């Protein structure tokens, strides 16, 4: 008999850094602690039946994690909120386990605990709902999301494309977490409901706001610094590309104008041009790479860019009419 199932193995690096920082936070008031613990147990834990055990130990709640910080946090919250002293098992790497695994086991009053946090409904049946009382206000919703990330979440390193996700085990729970994200940071989050339902956030700004709201100040600063650097680098590349495109268009236009001037001179001669056209034709032929503004400065007297443009258009028209 299981809940949403244990979380998959966590990645190391930045994700573990965030979890360690969150696990060191002051827990807050009892309701906030309860909301965070409920999410850790729901997304990182499972219910287990032991038919041969005494009635009071027939049901256990077990949290499985590869993060020592998360195991310590779950242990501390169980003590603070419910005055329970769970058993902590440490399983060394071996076989299919590549990393040390921590198992936090609640064997006493586990059914009462499961009912209180919403893993069981009032009739004792497994429940996929988040009790409304757990997330009644924004602070409690933030705590629940923090617990969900601690239990099952992962986040990309600041230097990589932004990606945060929390596997949930059920599409409805993923949808509920997305609602909590909108409530807490006023930004949308998406969900994936395939064979691995999960909450997904790919906005760097949203991820930064979530980290800050959860209390991961150090991780937020590292994340936001990299996000700003990426933004500045992207803007610089955009401007450089725009400048290159503008230069390319200027060179192509100047080449077309130079060819048109040469063709007009061949057709009508210099004397066949009006004085103002003759002057612009001369400075264009003498300066084939110059911009319109630069050509205007070379005229006597100098003229504006728009005047040079109009005169060159008249020369081009002569070529088209010819």
**Structural domain boundaries in the chain:** 14-215, 250-321
User: What's residue 108's pLDDT?
Assistant: 87
Mapping DSSP onto H, E and C, the string for the chain reads CCCCCCCCCCCCCHHHHHHHHHHCCCCCCHHHHHHHHHHHHHHHEEEEECCCCCHHHCEEEEEEECCHHHHHHHHHHHHHHHCCCCEEEEECCECCECCCEEEEEECCCHHHHHHHHCCECCCCCECCCCCHHHHCCHHHHHHHHHHHHHHHCEECCCCCCCCEEEECCCHHHHHHHHHHHHHHHCCCCEEECCCCCEEEECCHHHHHHHHHHHCCHHHHHHHHHHHHHHHHHHHHHHHHHHHHHHHHHHHHHHHHHHHHHHHHHHHHCHHHCCHHHHHHHHHHHHCCCCCHHHHHHHCCCCCCHHHHHHHHHHHHHHHHHC
User: What's residue 96's pLDDT?
Assistant: 67
What does the pLDDT look like over 156-174, one tens digit per residue?
988 888 899 999 988 999 9
Q: What is the mean pLDDT of the chain?
A: 83
Statement: 14-215 belongs to CATH 3.10.28.10: yes
Q: What is the pTM of this model?
A: 0.68
User: What's residue 283's pLDDT?
Assistant: 79
What does the pLDDT look like over 132-142, one tens digit per residue?
888 989 999 99
What does the pLDDT look like over 245-280, one tens digit per residue?
665 666 666 677 777 777 777 777 777 778 888 888
What does the pLDDT look like over 42-98, one tens digit per residue?
999 888 888 877 777 788 899 999 999 999 999 999 999 999 989 999 988 776 667
What does the pLDDT look like over 117-135, one tens digit per residue?
888 888 888 887 888 888 9
User: What's residue 161's pLDDT?
Assistant: 87
């Amino acid at each position: 008999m299981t809940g949403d199932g244990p979380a998959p193995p966590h990645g190391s690096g930045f994700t573990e850094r965030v979890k360690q920082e969150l696990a060191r936070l002051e827990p807050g008031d009892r309701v906030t602690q309860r909301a965070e613990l409920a999410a850790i147990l729901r997304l990182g834990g499972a219910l287990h039946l032991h038919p041969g055990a005494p009635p009071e130990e027939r049901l256990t709640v077990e949290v499985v994690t590869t993060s020592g910080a998360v195991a310590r946090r779950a242990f501390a919250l169980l003590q603070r909120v419910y005055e329970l002293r769970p058993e902590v098992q440490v399983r060394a790497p071996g076989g299919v386990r590549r990393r040390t695994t921590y198992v936090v086991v609640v064997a006493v009053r586990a059914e009462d605990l499961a009912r209180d946090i919403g893993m069981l409904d009032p009739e004792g049946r497994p429940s996929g709902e988040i009790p409304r009382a757990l997330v009644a206000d924004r602070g409690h919703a933030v705590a629940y999301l923090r617990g969900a990330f601690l239990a099952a979440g992962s986040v990309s390193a600041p230097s990589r494309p932004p990606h945060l996700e929390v596997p949930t085990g059920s599409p409805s729970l993923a949808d509920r977490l997305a609602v909590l994200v909108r409530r807490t940071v006023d930004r949308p989050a998406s969900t994936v409901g395939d064979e691995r339902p999960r909450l997904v956030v790919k906005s760097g700004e949203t991820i930064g706001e979530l980290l800050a709201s959860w209390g991961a100040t150090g991780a937020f600063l590292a994340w936001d610094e990299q996000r700003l650097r990426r933004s500045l680098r992207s803007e610089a590349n955009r401007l450089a590309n725009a400048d290159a495109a503008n230069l390319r268009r200027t060179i192509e236009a100047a080449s077309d104008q130079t060819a048109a001037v040469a063709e007009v001179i061949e057709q009508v001669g210099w004397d066949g041009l009006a004085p103002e056209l003759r002057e612009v034709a001369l400075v264009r032929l003498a300066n084939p790479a110059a911009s319109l503004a630069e050509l205007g400065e070379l005229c006597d007297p100098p003229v504006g860019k728009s005047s040079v443009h109009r005169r060159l258009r008249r020369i081009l028209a002569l070529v088209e009419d010819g």
